[in-house]
Structure 1
Amino acid sequence: MIILTIIFMALATYSTRIGGYLILSRYPVSRRVARMMEVAPGCILISVLAPDFASGRVADLLALGVTMLAALRFSLFYTVLIGIGSAWLLRAWVPV
């Protein structure tokens, strides 16, 4: 059941993302709109993650620092992987 839920969530995410591009591909898009479309996923990710970092847990704040440093050096894909991995490890090792 969990796998099925993950598959449906992935399909829903993909369909909304590709749907926007299919709709916008019929119209000329300005540079401003194109740039907004590029940064929107990052903004949404931040809005989902921000409450965790506002909690004040030391492990989460350390993971945020690690992720910020990774963002200066690596691409978005590797930064997300490093962020997830560091949060997981630090939550396991750093006391609350």
Structure 2
Amino acid sequence: MSFDPYMVSLIAAAAVVTYLTRIGGYLMIMRMSRIPPRMEAALNAVPAAVLTTLAAPAFFDGSIAVKAGMLLALFIGWRFSHMLMLVAGWALVLLLRHFAGL
């Protein structure tokens, strides 16, 4: 493995941009006396957007076992605890992979 100055500078630039974006948002909100309703609505939508960004590729690119596990977790999550949702989805994926070869 060799030292690549281009890669190191790219990683450093990405770190600086990430830091500036995070600190910029913090400084912007700290200067406000109150958060406008539209900005509050946008901030409230961030967790759902992040979850969708993480789950959608796994669902559409995953195997049948992964899709079944995610659907089971979705239905269990509506009614029961999050821990039961995670365990049930995980267990279904393991069982389908082991016994059905999916």
Place the TM-score, normalised by the shorter chain, in its bin.
Answer: 0.5 to 0.7
Residue 46 in structure 1 maps to residue 52 in structure 2: yes
1:90: which partner in 2? Answer: 92
Q: Which has the higher contact order (CA 8 A, sep 6+)?
A: 1
1:63: which partner in 2? Answer: 69
Supply the RMSD in Å over aligned alpha carbons. Answer: 3.0
Equivalent pair of 2:72/2:88 in contact (CA under 8 Å): yes
- Output the CA distance in 1 between the equivalents of 2:70 and 2:26: 31
2:43: which partner in 1? Answer: 37
| Number of residue-to-residue matches in the alignment | 77
Identify unmatched segments of 5+ residues in structure 2.
1-21
Identify unmatched segments of 5+ residues in structure 1.
1-15
Give me the TM-score of the superposition, normalised by structure 2: 0.54
Give me the TM-score of the superposition, normalised by structure 1: 0.56
Report deviation, 1:56. 4.6
Q: Larger radius of gyration, structure 1 or 2?
A: 2
Equivalent pair of 1:64/1:83 in contact (CA under 8 Å): no
Runs of 4+ in 1 over 6 A off after TM superposition: none
Cα 1:35–1:83, aligned 2, differ >3 Å: closer, same or farther?
farther
